[in-house]
Amino acid sequence: MSRILLFNKPYGVICQFSRDGMHPTLADYIAVPDVYPAGRLDTDSEGLLLLTDDGKLQHRITDPKHKQPKTYWVQVEGIPDATALEQLRRGIQLKDGMTLPAEANLMAEPQGLWLRDPPVRFRKDIPTCWLWLTIHEGKNRQVRRMTAAVGFPTLRLIRYSIGKWTIDGLAPGKWLSMHA
């Protein structure tokens, strides 16, 4: 039976077990042998990271042809209007190609949201808001590049879910083991 770990990756943690001497790693949080990340999150992103001991499952989770939806809570600088949201929904032309259409909606700040260390920069004259953004691919830094392309830079990025798995009830730095 395949094993899968759901890990709520804190800000600043790199998605590998080997140490780089500068950042905390998965080894600082997870002492489980023979599990490997199924995908990555940038060091400055937070939220759900899946790890598994099953190479075939790892491939199914990460392979774009399986199109696992990934939902993010995205705090952006400014308040996107209907035009910006529609651009995200249609797809955005990035330097490495067109993104697939995304689901994009304004949302309230997530309930029970933990503080980030270091905190997000705030400017008193520029409001921020939260987006619920679901994508079906995983280009490098895609969500950040998409929001910037429509004029609303990402300040904080939290992956809420991958497919059926979520961070519900999982504090930052904590993980949950289950059978896939």
Q: Which residues are catalytic?
A: 42
CB 143 within 8 A of CB 135: yes
Q: Which residue's structure tokens are 């190609």?
A: 97
Q: Which residue's structure tokens are 């023979």?
A: 34
Q: What is the DSSP string of 49-101?
A: EEEES-HHHHHHHH-GGG---EEEEEEEES---HHHHHHHHH--EETTEEPPP
**What is the Cα–Cα distance from 101 to 88, expressed in whole angstroms?**
7
